Amino acid sequence: MASSSSRMKFAKKAAEKVIHPPFLKTNIAAGMANPSPPLGPQLGQRNLNVAAFIKDFNEKTAHLKEGIPIPCRIKINPDRSYQLIMHKPPATYYLKQAAGIQKGKMKLGTARTVGIEVVRHLDSEEYKQFLEERKLVVEQNLKELQEVKEAKMLRTA
């Protein structure tokens, strides 16, 4: 009986002690790091000074456009210090910006997966036609958004 109770104590101790890897991979919006979830708890669990990290990250990304997703690798040292390695934003971010869209399929890697049609050759007339069609689509989307907003206002009034 004594051996089973000692095993239980050992199992309880092992369960209480969570060992995190010495690094953290995450995407953080440039200039917009804050202690709210998910970043704050991830750093706090690894015993990092969250406020110091956020200040450091925001200072290092101050020259970038706010909100650009920056893939980060954070190497955590035993003395609670860290090494921050920032990479370039994902290609899909730039593709979405060039196409003028906010959301695409969540797969990464190619333009097609975010809903962008890739053409090999495009002459100036085709591009002009594309821009005119795109303008009409954008105007239609804005009109629909405005109608939805007005409908909400009527329901709440």
* pLDDT (average), residues 110-133: 78
| Residue 109 and residue 33 share a domain | no
Q: Do 98 and 45 fall into the same domain? A: no
Question: What confidence score (pLDDT) does residue 98 get?
Answer: 73
Do 113 and 153 sit in the same domain of this protein? no
Same domain, 11 and 75: yes
Final residue before a domain boundary, out of 64, 87, 110: 87
Q: Are residues 42 and 81 in the same domain?
A: yes
Of 66 and 157, more confident = 66
For 13-30, give one letter per residue: b (16+ CB within 10 A) or e: eeeeeeeeeeebeeebbb
- Candidate from 21-30, 52-61, 101-110, 114-123 with smallest mean pLDDT: 101-110
Split at pLDDT 50, 70, 90, the class of 36 is: confident
Domain of residue 68 covers 2-87
The per-residue pLDDT for range 73-101, each reduced to its tens digit, is: 999 888 888 899 999 988 878 877 777 77
Going by C-alpha positions, the residue among 93, 88, 58 that lies closest to residue 73 is 88
Task: Specify the number of domains making up the chain.
Answer: 3
Do 147 and 73 belong together in one domain? no
* Domain co-membership, 114 together with 156: no
**Residue 74 shares a structural domain with residue 17:** yes
The CB density around residue 31, as the number of other CB atoms within 10 Å, is 18
* 109 and 124 share one domain: no
Three-state secondary structure call for residue 33: coil
102 and 68 within one domain: no
24 and 12 assigned to the same domain? yes
pTM of the entire predicted model: 0.56
At 86 the pLDDT is: 93
Peptide bond into 35 cis (omega under 30): no
**Do 28 and 76 belong to one domain?**
yes
